A and B are shown apart, each in its own frame.
Chain A
Amino acid sequence: MASKCQQKWDVRNWDEAAYKVRLQADREESTRIVYAARLAPSSDFVATASSNGSVCLYSVASCLASQSMDLNPKTAQLEMEPFLSFSRHDGAAYDLQFYGEDDDAILLSCGDDGKIQGWHWKRIEQGDFSNYSDGRLQKPDFILANPQQKGLRGALAPVPEINAIATDSQEGYVFSATGSGHAYCWDLEREKIITTFEGHSDYLHCICSRPSQKQVITGSEDGTVRIWDCRTAETIAILDAHKAAKVTKSPKGKLPWVSCVAIDSSQKWLVCGTGGNCLTLWSLLSFDAVTRICTVSTPQAVTIENSKIMTVGALPYLSCFTYNGDVISRIRIAPSSALSISAYSSGVCIVSGYGGLVDIISEFGSHISTFRCK
């Protein structure tokens, strides 16, 4: 960072304005948050969505190559230039997902500007960078824009952000959890909203789809988790994640927000994390709470992989639990507060969060690669 170009900065040809710009850029970089980091279908790349609105691809291979060069832990904080950047969201980019398999995959990103941008992975893989300029891809292949709600006297409310997206590639659906408290089901073919899920009394933090039952699960700032039927847009169940109880309507009084929801691969278990420092595990067969785990910090992202509940929160640790709530492991991770975790069947998991840090962790808890996004 500073040491790289210090040659430039001395009394000879001093340029104070440029120096200030650089300091500012450094500071901004240090406060960057990577909201989501996911492995691309071809596994060679990690896609990230970060607080400055950028959606980038990082080459894992080059991370590994540069990582092994420097064994000094003090300087091992690798800074990676993105392999490819996509057009920026206005405001932060909150989530990204890959839709579909292999060649037909689509990279979807969403953000504070209330838009979902989609890129066909095939084009990226084939190196079709026809609208590539200024270091980034200029136009997404399609944009799905959030509808604006009408408020008092017909005035349009501010564009609600999209905090999370989930996919159902069998049906061709994309679900978005928005700041207006609505969740939407988009038909990707027609690029149209086909279902609107409304009922939450505050904005949505997270969403996940349960394709086998045609259900969508949303977690909201109002402290509840709702399970929806995709076909009817009806609420099937309302869960109070904090009290670990099933309720019939949104409870009065403020509950800690639901920050994350996840289901396991068998689609029988649901785990959700709340701002009240706990994770609750639910059986989706009966919508009953099974386990409540009091966590050290606020869980901010959770996933279930291989019958392990993996969660990250406002502490630099990745915790793994069994369904009974026993701790399997606690792994120190790079970001001091992580906002995203994605686990893969190979055992690799990627966490990302504050400081623009992305940490790729192996099955055994060793850090395959840690880098700071540039």
Chain B
Amino acid sequence: MKTPYDALSATRSTIEEILAKILFIKKESRNRAELRELFTQASVAFLNLRQINRVILQEEDHVKQETEAAKLPVDHTTLQLNNLLYEKSHYLKAISACKDFKSKYPDIELVPVEEFYKEAPDEFQKDSTLRDDPHKEMLERLNFELYQRKELCKQQELLEARKKMLQESIAARRKFLSSLPSHLKTLKKASLPVQQQLGILHTKRMKQHHLADLLPPPLYILYTQLSALKEAFNENIELEIIGSIKDAQALVKQQALKESGLNHGGNEENKIEEEIPEEEEELQRRRKRVKKSHAKESSDEGVYHSHPLTVVWHIFDEVVDGGKRTKLLSVRFEYLMRLNMVCAGVEGDRHGPLELLTNLFPDDTGMELPTQAAKLSAGVEFQYDVNRSCHPYKWAQHLAGVDFLSEVPPLVSEGHGPSEFSKATSIRHGLSAYRKQHRVQTVLEKLRSRKKAHLALRGQLDTLSNSKLPHCVYIEVPWGPYKSKCFLHSWAEVLRTGLPKPPASLDDAPSLNMVSSSAEGLEISPVNGLESLREDGELPSAAMMLTPASKVPKFSSLMQKKLYSVKERSHAKRVPFTQAKEAFTMLNNDASVDFKDLGALDDDDDMILEFAGSPMDNTNADDIEESTNFEKVSAWEECGSRTFNAVFRGEDSETGKIIDLEAQVKIFSEHPVRPPYFELRQLTDEVTPSLPSPPRGVLTVTEKAYDMPPSSLLAFSDLRAMEKEVNSGIIQLLPTSHENEILAQQLSMLAMLFDAYVDSRLRSCDQHHPPLSVGATGTTNVHELTARSIRGRDRQMQLC
């Protein structure tokens, strides 16, 4: 179809053609009739045109309307589009924002996975999905951790609260503490009288412990070990440190200065000094006393210089009766600094310390310096002063650990050198051995039993000094129920002035004297038979010297020289020797009984023999005699021993003859472990029975020119047999629990033996002895019923 625009352009072209034709006609003015036609045509064309125009316009309007209608949805859609675009951009932005989001979790220090699985509750552990899903796992971990942390936080809070509380209480207490010393001081002061009253010397002990720091190492060990014993075993002992603190401190200071040039311990000492003043007045008094007693000893200050502090050990009886402790003894320990040894002495008992502590253990007289080092430092000539109250016993050294401390200097310094370590270990080893050996317990036991034995002994001796036999508690022995016929006629101690010397120093003539003047039964024999016999005993050896067979003729010139000097010496000695012998009232002609005390003096005589005899003859007479008659006792066993002289008197009921038995009783310092040693002699001798005159023709010769010893009722062998019973047989019969009354037991045993022997010998002298072979002789008389009373080569009594 033709579009209006086509129709319009066709119409316009038609009009243009008609008008072109009119114009042409007009111009040529030709036919006007044609013009009219042409005009009408033109008008129709115009009409057409108008119509087309309208249509166009209409059409246009229509289009416009249509467009208008179409425009609305377009607008809506555009809007929608814009919205979406906006939305999109928003999302993109959000995404990018999300993408840019930074999580905190990598910074969190989470518990490692393994640990989480370990600690987390079971539900997580069983959940296998969790392991596959790391995110979930992470979440769970986080959650769990959060939970845990929260818990911890709670706990922390709790703790914080507690801490705060504690801090508060601490502060309060500190406050209290700061005020406490003053409180305590007042309390202490207030309690002092009470302590005194109740005997709880707490304050004192504290002081003592404090003082212990100032002790030299040996005494420190002693102190600590003893106090440990006291505390660990609840032993009935007390310890005390006595001495001047100031001196001790000065000593420590001096030592410290010497050791390092620096005053290490300065602070410590100041501290100590601060606390001293209150104690000072008390000490001042004490020190004065100590100084006084020290003044006497200070003459020999060099060697005997002792540490200002001493330890006193009070020993009480084990058995507490009625809350009251009976004190047995106090032992004082002091430390001699130059000799590095510890001395012990019995406190307060100045005249008999030796007796009590000497030979507490075998060979420990306290007379000799115990360590080689001490001997060296004291010099060869040095002899320990026997009159000092304290003696360096070996057991004291062992108690103080000197045996393992010896390498350590007298006062241990504060230094920390490399050697210090080894020293410390050696001390530690030493101490452990010390404890294993039960040294302290052993010494305590020994001291207690020793002291008890001494008390028991003293009681027995007191009874004896009244010439009564002490009572025996234990009567389960053969002589227990026996009532002796003989009685104790006298009892006296044989005193030795001065203390026993070591055997080497014979230079001071010992004087022996008898205390008892009441012993009228003892007669001083005017003729010194002993000596005459002794000299006689030398005869063979002197004669031997002249025999050609003597094996050492070469020595003769030498011997003569020596003999001369010895003789001279022996003359000088003879005077005290004989004096001593005469004073020694037990002498008689029975030379076989010599006494130990004299034995020591006999050295002079020994020397003569020593040079006079051939080497083979060395076992010279006196020596042999000594060692046969008596228990071989060397010097240490003798130390601190006391000798007593007892006379038993028996009476023959028929003839009224008096028979005296003398017993020399030696009580050793080790009593009763080493029981008293008896030496017997029959004192009153019978008149020598004259031998019956022999038939004619028999030549009668008497062996000696000098008086024969009168025969005694009791033979030598009888006395020895009695000695044997009393000295050694008794030990098995007496239980250890009654050990302390051994002297009493021995005496009553001796009384019984004496009775028995006298009876037996009297009977055998005076009466016809029963024939023994009952069956053989066939005769029966009363005597046959009695059992044989003697037996054997040496005619020993049969004792049941």
Contacts and interface: CB of A to CB of B under 8 A. Distances in A.
A107 interface: no
A333 interface: yes
B735 interface: no
Given A73-B618, A297-B716, 12 more contacts: A6-B363, A11-B439, A198-B773, A202-B771, A254-B764, A275-B715, A278-B691, A292-B698, A294-B700, A297-B592, A364-B544, A365-B544
Contact of A277 (B446, B674, B708): B708
B592 A315 contact: yes
A209 interface: no
B475 interface: no
Nearest to A325: B701
A161 B792 contact: yes
Interface in A159-200: 161, 163-164, 179-182, 198
A205 B697 CA distance: 28
Given A12-B437, A19-B362, A161-B792, A289 B698 contact: yes
Given A74-B606, A243-B692, A294-B700, A337 B674 contact: no
Nearest to A324: B699
A275 B716 CA distance: 11
Contacts of A342: none
A292 B701 contact: yes
B442 interface: yes
A303 interface: no
Q: Which 4 pairs between the two chains have the least Cβ-Cβ distance?
A: A325-B701, A355-B628, A314-B716, A332-B621
30 contacts: A6-B362, A11-B439, A12-B398, A31-B720, A31-B728, A33-B794, A71-B618, A73-B609, A73-B623, A76-B619, A149-B774, A150-B775, A152-B780, A180-B773, A181-B776, A202-B771, A205-B793, A242-B691, A243-B692, A244-B700, A276-B689, A276-B691, A278-B691, A317-B537, A335-B624, A336-B592, A364-B544, A364-B547, A367-B616, A368-B616
Interface residues of A, number: 114
B380 interface: no
A337 B592 contact: yes
B536, B544, B628, B727: most-surrounded residue (chain A CB, <10 A): B628
B616 A292 contact: no
Contact of B771 (A14, A181, A293): A181
Given A10-B394, A16-B673, A332-B621, A244 B698 contact: yes
A366 B550 contact: yes
Contact of A19 (B394, B673, B732, B767): B673
B164 to A, nearest CB: 59
B363 A242 contact: no
Interface string A300-332: 100000000000001111010100111101111
Nearest to B775: A150
B765 interface: yes
B259 to A, nearest CB: 31
B691 A294 contact: yes
Contact of B632 (A30, A94, A275, A324): A30
Interface stretch (A21-29, A123-131, A227-235, A264-272): A21-29
A278 B704 CA distance: 12
Given A149-B773, A329-B540, A23 B700 contact: no
A28 B728 contact: yes
Contacts of A316: 537, 592, 621, 624-625, 628
Contact of A180 (B692, B765, B772): B772
A263 to B, nearest CB: 18
Decide if the interface of chain A is mainly helix, strand, loop or mixed: loop
Given A243-B694, A364-B547, A365-B540, A202 B769 contact: yes
B442 A11 contact: yes
Contact of B791 (A72, A161, A276): A161
Contacts of A150: 775
Nearest to B732: A24
Nearest to B362: A9
A6 B537 CA distance: 35
Interface string A198-219: 1001110100000000000000
A74 B700 CA distance: 40
B741 interface: no
B723 interface: yes
A277 B711 contact: yes
B753 to A, nearest CB: 14
Nearest to A356: B628
B772 A315 contact: no
Contact of A257 (B727, B771, B777, B795): B795
B620 interface: yes
Contacts of B16: none
B694 A245 contact: yes
Contacts of A253: 768
B231 interface: no
Contacts of A20: 673, 731
